[in-house]
Amino acid sequence: MPSSPSERGARGSSDRRALRRCVGIDPDRFAAEHWGRVPLFTSAADLPRAFDDLLDLDQVDELLSRRGLRTPFLRVARDGVVLGSAQFTRGGGVGAEIGDQVADDRVAALFAEGSTLVLQGLHRLWPPLIDLAGDLSTDLGHPVQVNAYITPPQSQGFSAHYDVHDVFVLQVAGHKRWRVHEPVHPDPLRDQPWADHADAVAEQAAREPLIDRVLAPGEALYLPRGYLHSAVAQGEISAHLTVGVHVVTRHALVEALLGLAGRDAGLRTSLPLGIDLADPEQLAPHVADVVKLLGAMLDDADPVDVAERVRRHLWSGARPRPLAPLAQATAARGADEGTAVRWRPGLRFRLHVEGERVVLDLPHDRLTLPASTSAALDRLAVGDVVVLGELPGLPVDDQRVLVRRLLKDGIVVPA
């Protein structure tokens, strides 16, 4: 195994199937011409299929009435105002002693009055969207979330605004008119919401839009963060999925670099007793010293240390494909020669060598294994289906031990 880090478990499929569901052009062209730069509309004819396999209106009703949803999985808005959850929740009844379960009758009344329903966090709740979000996050290399917006006819849930993450809009049912304007604050960070620029947003939204289009079922729209947008349902109920991409930015590298500053003893030094922190003249020499020390620290920064900090941030926001706990435990006990397994899809990892050991860094764990497992781990990490008994570099008995361990820890799954 090479000593350089391996991130193959975090890479997408070779043809980026999940991304191709959302854009109608070649992924490499999308990356070069649109990603983080320019919106992209895609007609249904240019996409592999419609989106009704991901969610439809009957399934929305099921989620709202039979799945025991609680806040914050549902948000309700009307004319740009988000309603308090007390208006659409109540106690769960006997055997469910909770006070914030979604009340289907209250939701029905609010929807009939023109409120938009926002089903939040569906990437953690609804199986087809769990899979889409996991695969798309792997294809893009950035964490992904999925919300659904269901709007009554001729209604608008939110006024013109921008998001602090990129979005793919996937129209599921009905028609919705989208108006998109140029940014007033390009590439906003997560702590730079549109409300900080409300006057500029309102002024820009009154101008001629960059895009003014009605999305039909099966059509898609990509919007980089910062682009202003608003949407109005047309003559029937409209439902669309918003796939939010929480992009990792260069600012994340800055934060990682500053996080390393705590290693420098000079930067940990206390300021003088009695200093007036509101006085720029008193602060000036200390600021100058800090700038020098920080500059020296940045000059010596090791990309390996930066990568470790950025990796923690990325991994904390992206979950691997779900596994079946009972089946997984059964497989871990019974794995033997002929058992087929594969690396858990979407599992972030870093595989490298430290001295005489192989180290497998995972989102919430670190495994240190014998050097003899190097070739077998390398083979598994590619992501293909592998049969116990055919792993390189180990006798069958040792393969059995390794595979059972990896199954127990949820690193590989039964094929």
The pLDDT value given to residue 13: 55
The pLDDT value given to residue 244: 98
Alpha-carbon distance of 105 to 103, in angstroms, equals 6
Instruction: Let me know: does 238 contact 150? Beta carbons within 8 Å.
Output: yes
CA–CA distances in Å: residue 219 to residues 90, 118, 163? 36, 20, 20
Q: Quick one: which of 387, 304, 376, 275 has its CA closest to 339?
A: 387
Q: Quick one: which of 249, 232, 103 has its CA closest to 166?
A: 249
The pLDDT value given to residue 3: 37
Superfamily of domain 11-245: Cupin (2.60.120.650)
Q: What is the dihedral of CA 398, 403, 405, 411, to 10 degrees?
A: 150
Helices (H), 260-409: 280-299, 303-316, 325-334, 374-381, 396-408
The pLDDT value given to residue 4: 39
Domain ranges (residues) in the chain? 11-245, 250-315, 325-414
Instruction: Let me know: does 384 contact 340? Beta carbons within 8 Å.
Output: no
The pLDDT value given to residue 31: 97
Per-residue pLDDT tens over the stretch 205-255: 999 999 999 999 999 999 999 999 999 999 999 999 999 999 999 999 999
Instruction: Let me know: does 240 contact 178? Beta carbons within 8 Å.
Output: no
Alpha-carbon distance of 143 to 312, in angstroms, equals 12
Instruction: Let me know: does 365 contact 316? Beta carbons within 8 Å.
Output: no
Segment holding 110, helix H or strand E: helix 104-112
The pLDDT value given to residue 14: 65
- Coil, strand or helix at 102: strand
Q: Write down the pTM of the prediction.
A: 0.90
The pLDDT value given to residue 2: 39
Alpha-carbon distance of 271 to 275, in angstroms, equals 7
Q: Can you name the residues that pair with 350 across neighbouring β-strands?
A: 361
Highest CATH level, class, for 325-414: alpha beta
Taking 3-state DSSP, the helix, strand and coil percentages for the chain, each rounded to the nearest 5, stand at: 35, 20, 40
Burial class (CB in 10 A: 0-12, 13-18, 19+), 364: exposed
Per-10-residue mean pLDDT, the chain, length 415: 40 78 97 97 97 97 95 91 94 86 96 96 96 94 96 89 97 97 97 96 96 98 98 94 96 92 92 96 96 93 91 85 95 97 94 92 93 96 96 97 97 96
